[in-house]
Amino acid sequence: MSTERKLYCDCPTNYQDVPPNTNVCPICTGMPGAKPLPPNEHAVNAAIEIALMLGCRITTDQTIFIQRKHYDYPDLPSGYQRTSLPIARDGELQGVRIREVHLEEDPGQYDPVAGAVDYNRSGVPLVEIVTEPDIKSPEEARKFLRMLTRVLEYTGKVRPEAGGAMRADVNISLEGGGRVEVKNINSVKGAYRALKYEIIRQRERLKRGEAVVRETRAYLESQMVTVPMRVKELEEDYRYIPDPDIFPLILDAKRVNSVRGKMAEPPHLREQRLVKQYKIPNAAAEVIVSERELADLYEAVAREVDPKLAATWFRTKLKKVLNYMKLRAADVKFTPKQFAGLLQMVKMKRVTPEQGELVLRELAKEPADPEELLVKLGLVPLKKSELRAAVDRAIRENPRAVKDYRAGRKEALNFLAGKVMELTRGRADPREVARLLKSKLKKKRKI
């Protein structure tokens, strides 16, 4: 999660931006005698928010102990990881049940090749989300992880997925074999590939009559394979005990309600609402909710102009322009009013959709009144007579294409339309051009 401070001490969490072992103190390096501070309130609230967005029931009826989970690895200075009992249970995200959500601290980063450990990350708050075994294929797993990422991004309380801050442990079992857990996966693509690989590996073993044992494997990103890590620990191996240094968490309904009051509408629910409220296609709603800021922009624009026209533009032209300029909706500087103004011009047929796209590109570069941009781009409306003259000229100057078209070669019409667009310097509406060309060429045939 993207809090400013670690979970049990006041060290900063920007572990990627600083030299190794600088964001550290006796608490997060597990020095003898160092006592943890109470859990970071921001981290606890962020975990509650994430759990609520996933439709979970928050644990308000029980004291939530912080457990010590023991294991030995160089990245874990105290020899145990502090992990809470579930702060929430029984959620659901598009058909996949969420078993529980808990709060943990991240270990440090160990580099086995250099034999070095960096404790900057040690103690950074982490939320763990556990699903029920409701996923039946690597494709479903990929879809679920994408949706989950979107929910997490909507909270604004997690680090960007691109930074590798999201990790997944995937468990897979085929009929007749033991459950295998694959760790060391830090992307959606990685989870998909690891599962694909495991299915082939386990199926081959079972076919040969060999056992698939219950174990933990590691995914090697560079080779796209999984390798044995350790035979799966049982719960007992972790020797869980409540951490006597930390007062347990007690969450009450008042706190949960205050988090709920401030939280964003979850993207999957927002998608359904947009479809209903604005009567737009599912495909458009899906694109619109892909980013929270994009959805906010859409709703602001839809208040000003035809929501259906706006939805079409969000799905096609706006998406295209943003992709081309490598912008996220959060970086967009133009106002909903400016964009709505542009759409109004398209609706009133004052500009063609193609010209509108040119204006949109300018708008994304430097926000301005769309009317001014129209003048700046020289997109003054074309007169009917100008268009007719251009069509006549294109026909006159390209007798060969005319002949081809009349001989049944439809693509010759595109060639002629291209000439008209050239002659009008792109100001004509391509649909109008095609219509005029067709009618003119038909007329002459009759003669």
- 11 is an interface residue for Zn ion by CB under 5 A: yes
Cβ-based nearer residue to Zn ion, 83 or 424: 83
Contact region with Zn ion (CB under 5 A), list: 3-11, 62-70, 232-240, 331-339:
3-11
Amino acid at 312: T
**CA dist list (Å): 153 to 4, 12, 57, 94, 254:** 17, 21, 21, 17, 25
Task: Figure out which of the listed residues 1, 2, 13, 28 binds Zn ion, where binding follows CB under 5 A.
Answer: 28
Confirm if 169 and 204 have CB atoms less than 8 A apart.
no
Residues 383-422 that bind Zn ion (CB under 5 A): none
Q: Is 124 in the site for Zn ion (CB under 5 A)?
A: no
Residue 220 lies near Zn ion (rule: CB under 5 A): no
Question: Alpha-carbon dihedral of residues 269, 273, 275, 277, nearest 10 degrees?
Answer: -170
Candidates 14, 22, 25, 57; binder of Zn ion (CB under 5 A) is: 25
In terms of DSSP H, where are the helices of 2-62?
41-53
Tell me the window of 5-13, 86-94, 127-135, 234-242 that interacts with Zn ion (CB under 5 A): 5-13
Interface mask toward Zn ion for 46-65; x: CB under 5 A: --------------------
The secondary structure of residue 27, as a DSSP letter, is: T
Which segment (27-35, 86-94, 106-114, 226-234) binds Zn ion by CB under 5 A?
Answer: 27-35
CB 423 within 8 A of CB 414: no
Name which of 28 and 318 has its Cβ closer to Zn ion: 28
Please, which residue, 28 or 158, has the CB nearer to Zn ion? Answer: 28
| Residue showing tokens 């599962």 | 195
Stretch that binds Zn ion, among 2-10, 355-363, 369-377, 424-432 (CB under 5 A): 2-10
Minimum Å gap between C-beta 127 and Zn ion is 19
Nearer to Zn ion, 35 or 279 (CB): 35
Distance CA 122, CA 105 (A): 7
The residue range among 24-32, 135-143, 170-178, 320-328 that interacts with Zn ion, by the rule CB under 5 A, is 24-32
* Candidate ranges 25-33, 214-222, 300-308, 321-329; the one touching Zn ion (CB under 5 A): 25-33
Q: Which two tokens stand for residue 288?
A: 């619109």
> Applying CB under 5 A, does 9 fall inside the site for Zn ion?
yes
- Name residue 72's amino acid: D
Looking at beta carbons only, is 28 or 390 nearer to Zn ion?
28
Asked whether 22 and 120 are in contact (CB, 8 A), the reply is yes
CB of 6 to Zn ion, least distance (A): 5
Write the Ramachandran bin of 316: left for phi over 0, alpha for psi from -120 to 50, otherwise beta: alpha
Provide the minimum distance between the beta carbon of 9 and Zn ion in the complex, in angstroms, as a whole number: 3
Does 43 bind Zn ion (CB under 5 A)? Our answer is: no
Q: Rounded to whole angstroms, what are the CA distances from 400 to 78, 219, 259, 406, 413?
A: 83, 62, 71, 10, 11
- Give whichever of 3 and 131 is closer to Zn ion, judged by the CB atom: 3
Q: What DSSP string describes 93-148?
A: ETTEEEEEEEEEE---EEETTTTEEEGGGTT-EEEEEEE-S---SHHHHHHHHHHH
Give the interface with Zn ion as residue ranges (CB under 5 A). Answer: 9, 11, 25, 27-28
